[in-house]
Structure 1
Amino acid sequence: MSRRVVRRSKFRHVFGQAAKADQSYEDIRVSKVTWDSSFCAVNPKFLAIIVEAGGGGAFIVLPLAKTGRVDKNYPLVTGHTAPVLDIDWCPHNDNVIASASDDTTVMVWQIPDYTPMRNITEPILTLEGHSKRVGILCWHPTARNVLLSAGGDNVILIWNVGTGEVLLSLDDMHPDVIHSVCWNSNGSLLATTCKDKNLRIIDPRKGQVVAERFAAHEGMRPMRAVFTRQGHIFTTGFTRMSQRELGLWDPNNFEEPVALQEMDTSNGVLLPFYDPDSSIVYLCGKGDSSIRYFEITDEPPFVHYLNTFSSKEPQRGMGFMPKRGLDVSKCEIARFYKLHERKCEPIIMTVPRKSDLFQDDLYPDTPGPEPALEADEWLSGQDAEPVLISLRDGYVPPKHRELRVTKRNILDVRPPAGPRRSQSASDAPLSQHTLETLLEEIKALREQVQAQEQRITALENMLCELVDGTD
């Protein structure tokens, strides 16, 4: 079918190109665990990849500049007692990464700017709250030190990693395994997909499902969902006939999709990577050898196919660089880190321009490394959009910033009242009467201990006399 009018878009010509051989990371034993996560996380400083490791789970962290062959004795991040299933860099501190594992724990790590001499084995924090494997991690986009984890126990926990506390527990919303979780741009809502085939929009602080759609994709295979810049939900899934499918949904009207397109019959789960600055979504299928990308607009058909980057080797996983880590002088609008069986290969997406000047239209101000809120401000109900920075002069990552964990005295921690911590009578100072009662109880216990000690002494003396008598 011929088109009469060519759609105007500055992203109609986006070209993907694999980096040169010497820019790849060679000889990395990528994890063989069959889990539908990306196995790779990247930021402007580091590349992290989940790897094969004996006796537990591990991942490797490489400075971006350390390309070429990786020494087989290069230090790993090891601490989990079972395979690592997901990793995610903190958006507000390029030296902090979280890992989730089959051993039911989440660990938060501080990565030094220098190359360590031996394995990093001590996390700065171990978060224990799930009863089964933890397979999903997602940092809050605007609040400092807020981390979401989701596990095989069908529970979503939201943590304050600055104190090691659970802020919120969403434990009765998903009757089956959670496949994906995504924050919206200001972190006020979550979009989740589940094995029960439901797509849910959740307000985590109210502990409520605010919108729900059953069988956004009718197939039984896992579904993925991400928020778009306009507040819509972009999904990938499967039809009843096991064809891969993508969809666009308006949470205010979940009855009919804004767009629904069938793709192909491959069985690999499509991982969507969305760039809100350009409103382009990149689809990377596990086991595929291609990256397809689409522009989401307000004009029908709303999801516009742009192009496909193809290579010979299938991908085991994929890392997606935040916008501030790109080379603006080369008109680079996205960069992927494609995992092969034994290496990681950067793939660069560019929009060719003749001018060497900074391209304002390609690079609107983008989220920077500063949080907009503190954890307790977000928990109290405040929302804030990300703090934006300009990429006009390029981005230089800040020096090593240490994450300080202030664990509260366990005696000061009282159980939260309902889904949110609230000021209640139990938080008030102890009354004089309560203090007197406690002192009386302590005095009685002390007297009881003394009486028992005297009885033990008497029994020991009797035993000695008996032993002496038999001699």
Structure 2
Amino acid sequence: MSRRVVRQSKFRHVFGQAAKADQAYEDIRVSKVTWDSSFCAVNPKFLAIIVEAGGGGAFIVLPLAKTGRVDKNHPLVTGHTAPVLDIDWCPHNDNVIASASDDTTIMVWQIPDYTPMRNITEPIITLEGHSKRVGILCWHPTARNVLLSAGSDNVIIIWNVGTGEVLLSLDDMHPDIIHSVCWNSNGSLLATTCKDKTLRIIDPRKGQVVANNFEEPVALQEMDTSNGVLLPFYDPDSSIIYLCGKGDSSIRYFEITDEPPFVHYLNTFSSKEPQRGMGFMPKRGLDVSKCEIARFYKLHERKCEPIVMTVPRKSDLFQDDLYPDTPGPEPALEADEWLSGQDAEPVLISLRDGYVPPKHRELRVTKPNILDVRPPSGPRRSQSAQDSPLSQQHTLERLLEEIKALREQVQAQDQRITALENMLCELVDGTD
């Protein structure tokens, strides 16, 4: 008589649970744009959701603790002239988020710790380089201010957000629309999927595809979903992959191991309503006192609902085996170090005493001297025309006019900030 051997794993009994009604975010007009991104991004401070907006594109940013009904006049982040298609929080600064749009631009925003009184309309920087819509954003996991974007022009651009410069442009890697892009753990390689049904592993600094013929899959799993897009979220600390079908109503999760059969089905969390999108909290934003190993933010048509994944444990002590040291908010490299060929693993932190997000940190953009930049590519002018004293004089006059206009704009903004700060002080004094 044979006995069935049950595979031993501390994650066999992971269960999902939707948050109580008062912990959801209600009355949010989630975007109805037909795009394959998750429409939601979350970090230990904020929840950001792409929303419906007339005459352009917008997303809303809510402090994580601001649950319940969202005021219809809550300020939005607006600035794009067409729908926002993707958003991504910077892993090294919880107050910085990037947005990509149908208007071909990427904008990077500084979100204050306090709730602003008006819409945020001025990005820190606008990145222009794509010729068609930009639908994918992904920050580098270990290098400061390095951001990847991919557009419907089949081009991947890697930016230094701190200077606004293009570090790398990969424009001959994909013959068709790019569906998804992600970095490996130290940011040395990219994995991409494309409409040509090919998965590529790319070394971006060499500009080479290092692997794209994977022959046979190591495991094949049938997914009972509609023909909607799958949103995968991988947690390297627990080796669990969560698969959320966009338009589906379930989250399936699997444990990945080094031995055959490699992929082990754990369970399925199901609910009644389909998800319009899904946000995934970084490990440092979880409640370790409740053995929470993952938290999702599920978008409905008019609300966002947290879903918590927990390992049942009786002890109230910190569970070392569930929480190995995990990537923290400090970058391991500067942008120029990464570009020169250096690699570094993420700087890890312990979650033993919980994680407290650092206070507001500003992202400072230092643009290179415009006089040192060559004219943009286009119809080539003769060398004599470019270098003539008259041409240089015109350029200098134009720059001086721009500097004057910018100074006036800065002064006006300073006056506005001072007035707003005075209003804020009066309001605070009035509530004391």
Q: Matched residues, percent identical?
A: 96
Q: 1:297 to 1:419 in 2, by over 3 A?
A: farther
**Secondary structure of residue in 2 paired with 1:442:** helix
Q: 1:414 to 1:15 in 2, by over 3 A?
A: same
Q: 1:427 to 1:313 in 2, by over 3 A?
A: farther
Q: 1:209 to 1:389 in 2, by over 3 A?
A: same
Q: Give 1:127 shift.
A: 0.3
Counterpart contact for 1:205–1:420, Cα < 8 Å: no
Q: Which moved more, 1:390-399 or 1:431-440?
A: 431-440
Q: 1:79 to 1:446 in 2, by over 3 A?
A: closer
Q: 1:25 to 1:370 in 2, by over 3 A?
A: same
The equivalences for 1:27-426 within 5 A come to 27-210=27-210, 254-264=214-224, 266-414=226-374
Q: 1:460 to 1:60 in 2, by over 3 A?
A: closer
CA distance, structure 2, for counterparts of residue 77 and residue 455 of structure 1: 18
Q: Give 1:261 shift.
A: 2.0
Q: 1:164 to 1:10 in 2, by over 3 A?
A: same
Q: 1:425 to 1:363 in 2, by over 3 A?
A: farther
CA distance, structure 2, for counterparts of residue 256 and residue 163 of structure 1: 43
> Residue deviations 1:44-68, cap 9 Å, x none?
0000000000110000000000000
**Secondary structure of residue in 2 paired with 1:382:** coil
Q: 1:97 to 1:454 in 2, by over 3 A?
A: closer
**Secondary structure of residue in 1 paired with 2:336:** helix
Q: Give 1:429 shift.
A: 19
> Residue deviations 1:340-370, cap 9 Å, x none?
0000000000001000000000000000000
Q: Give 1:198 shift.
A: 1.0
Q: 1:147 to 1:447 in 2, by over 3 A?
A: closer
Counterpart contact for 2:84–2:100, Cα < 8 Å: yes
Listed as ranges, the gaps of 5+ residues in structure 1 are 211-251
Q: Give 1:456 shift.
A: 48
Q: Give 1:263 shift.
A: 2.0
CA distance, structure 2, for counterparts of residue 387 and residue 56 of structure 1: 38
Counterpart contact for 1:155–1:171, Cα < 8 Å: yes
Q: Give 1:152 shift.
A: 0.4
Q: Give 1:264 shift.
A: 2.3
CA distance, structure 2, for counterparts of residue 269 and residue 470 of structure 1: 48
Q: Give 1:413 shift.
A: 3.0
CA distance, structure 1, for counterparts of residue 44 and residue 320 of structure 2: 21
Counterpart contact for 1:142–1:187, Cα < 8 Å: yes
Q: Give 1:257 shift.
A: 1.6
TM-score (norm 1): 0.79
Listed as ranges, the gaps of 5+ residues in structure 2 are none
CA distance, structure 2, for counterparts of residue 72 and residue 115 of structure 1: 14
Counterpart contact for 2:109–2:125, Cα < 8 Å: yes
TM-score (norm 2): 0.86
Counterpart contact for 2:159–2:166, Cα < 8 Å: yes
Q: Which moved more, 1:449-458 or 1:118-127?
A: 449-458
CA distance, structure 2, for counterparts of residue 282 and residue 466 of structure 1: 45
Q: Give 1:300 shift.
A: 1.7
Q: Give 1:443 shift.
A: 27
CA distance, structure 2, for counterparts of residue 302 and residue 51 of structure 1: 39
CA distance, structure 2, for counterparts of residue 468 and residue 331 of structure 1: 41
Aligned to 1:248: none
RMSD of aligned alpha carbons: 13.2
Q: 1:147 to 1:289 in 2, by over 3 A?
A: same
Q: 1:465 to 1:318 in 2, by over 3 A?
A: closer
Aligned to 2:408: 447
